Amino acid sequence: MSTTILEERKAQIHRTGEGAIDIACNRESLAGAVSQRACVFCGSRVVLYPIADALHLVHGPIGCAVYTWDIRGALSSGPELHRLSFSTDLQETDVIFGGEKKLEAALDELIDRHNPKAAFVYSTCIVGIIGDDLEAVCRKMTEKKGIPVLPVQSEGFKGSKRAGYLAACKAMFRLVGTEDVADVSPVSVNILGDFNLAGEIWIVREYFRKMGVEVVANITGDGRVRDVGRSHGAALNLVQCSGATLDLAKMMQEKYGTPYLRVSYLGIEDMADSLYQVADFFKDKDPGIVGRTEKLVRDELQTLMPELARMRKDLEGKKVAMYVGGSFKAFSLVKAFRHLGMQVVMVGSQTGTKEDYAELEQITDPGTVIIDDANPLELSHFIKEKDVDVFVGGVKERPIAFKLGVGFCDHNHERKEALEGFVGMLNFAREIHSSVMSPVWNFVPRRANRVAEAEKEAANE
């Protein structure tokens, strides 16, 4: 393996087909390796942020609030209080004397000014170090203001983004069970782990409406405090981003007996399979749901498949590298690229488990690089080694692609293009096609050399 790969990192990199996979994962990032992961606070913030009628207050230095301001492309069909990034802006004197009074004053003013349905207060590294009692302040403000004021124990130094997901789920679980569920249908679901990037949750909700399924709560895309409070009345939880909200689904199963299914709305097979799983779950309560679901999928595919076939002619054999946050995206993306005739040569994630990577090995081609918790040097190395045509990632990966002269597709939470559902698959294919087939890449030195060699070979023939 290249000297680009640090010795301590070799156990977190695997090539499909080279022996049994035993990839090291679920561990702290290597100090100094500049991991692509984010901190605990960021993890909790991105999960809770889309609850649109809640106040979100970052208790810490202003930089933490700036880092996560408008961090998701999470759209709201109503209030947009979530898009304001409030902070207590802790200074040196607050670190010395404590920030509890400043936090209390900020909550007092902001709740009166914005009249939220609830308030989430995020602790950051500094707060964990100086020992501010968030729990006590939030309890006091709950009694004073008459709304839930919820502490989110998300000190960044506690671990990686995954620990932030758990902190967010614990905060949300305090809301669950606080509202009446008398009007909830027996054929009903909660959508967990979808954050309404570019309005995607509206696409999925429309599918369920056509099937005859009520959606009780969006957790958390286009979310509302009241809906989270009545989410325990739903008959089924659908968990997409397993890392972000699986803990909440397990909590609800333990306390309220609500079963959950792990689903994905990305790609053709996974979107269809998710709808069929829901139909199968409710078929005893609603015998007609299976037929409605089959018709829905058939109608969508009649529009989608001819378009994909047209683009496949250009994309056949092109190479793809991807690095995503949750590994559930990687499963769906590998299948999606197969429909386009493209070869995935590198795939990695920030928060994958041994089971996730074992499944990835099963669905990828021999020689595919599987990598956990990568850093920029490793990603750059494998992109060049595999000579990829397009790199799928998030905002931190975009500069890597462009510096190397490679097409890029944003598949993370900053994107503005809906990529879920059947219509999302069409949007995704069009974006990949336009990125890969752009003539600009012919002028990048690496690509220009390839073109020149191909022209020389053609001339010799």
pLDDT in tens, 329-371: 899 999 999 999 999 999 998 878 888 888 899 999 999 999 9
Q: What is the pLDDT of residue 1?
A: 44
Per-residue DSSP letter, 160: B
Per-residue DSSP letter, 28: P
Higher pLDDT, 157 or 208: 208
Whether the pLDDT of residue 250 is over 90: the answer is: yes
Q: What is the pLDDT of residue 232?
A: 98
Q: What is the mean pLDDT of the chain?
A: 90
**Cα 46 from Cα 50, distance rounded (Å):** 8
**Cα 262 from Cα 242, distance rounded (Å):** 7
State the DSSP H helix or E strand holding residue 190, giving kind and residue range, or none if neither.
Answer: strand 188-194
Whether the pLDDT of residue 49 is over 60: the answer is: yes
State the DSSP H helix or E strand holding residue 390, giving kind and residue range, or none if neither.
Answer: strand 390-393
- Residue 26: pLDDT band with limits 50, 70, 90: low
Q: What is the pLDDT of residues 404-460, one digit of tens each?
A: 999 999 887 778 889 999 999 999 999 999 999 999 888 887 766 666 676 777 777
Q: What is the pLDDT of residues 118-177, one digit of tens each?
A: 999 999 999 999 999 999 999 999 999 999 999 999 998 877 777 889 999 999 999 999
Q: Average of pLDDT values for 281-297?
A: 98
Q: Average of pLDDT values for 257-279?
A: 96
Q: What is the pLDDT of residue 391?
A: 96
Whether the pLDDT of residue 241 is over 50: the answer is: yes
Is 237 within 8 Å of 252 (Cβ atoms)?
Answer: yes
- Domains of the chain and any CATH numbers: 1-33+316-416 (3.40.50.1980), 40-173 (3.40.50.1980), 188-298 (3.40.50.1980)
Q: What is the pLDDT of residue 6?
A: 66
Please report where in the chains the tokens 């035993």 appear, as a residue: 22
Strand order across the 118-123 sheet? 86-87, 54-59, 118-123, 149-152
| Residue positions counted in the chain | 461
Q: Average of pLDDT values for 256-274?
A: 96
Share of the chain above pLDDT 90, in %: 70
pTM of the full structure: 0.90
- Among 6-10, 161-165, 312-316, the minimum mean pLDDT is found in 6-10
Is 43 within 8 Å of 247 (Cβ atoms)?
Answer: no
Q: What is the pLDDT of residue 320?
A: 97
Secondary structure of residue 336 in the 3-state scheme: helix
- Residue 191: pLDDT band with limits 50, 70, 90: very high
Helices (H), 372-460: 376-386, 398-403, 421-436, 445-460
Share of the chain above pLDDT 70, in %: 93
Measured over all CA atoms, what is the biggest interatomic distance in the chain, rounded to whole angstroms? 83
Is 418 within 8 Å of 198 (Cβ atoms)?
Answer: yes
**Cα 335 from Cα 340, distance rounded (Å):** 9
Q: What is the pLDDT of residue 30?
A: 57
Q: Which residues contact 133 (CB under 8 A, 6 or more apart)?
A: 100
CA distances for 174 relative to 50, 146, 229, angstroms: 17, 15, 9
Higher pLDDT, 159 or 117: 117
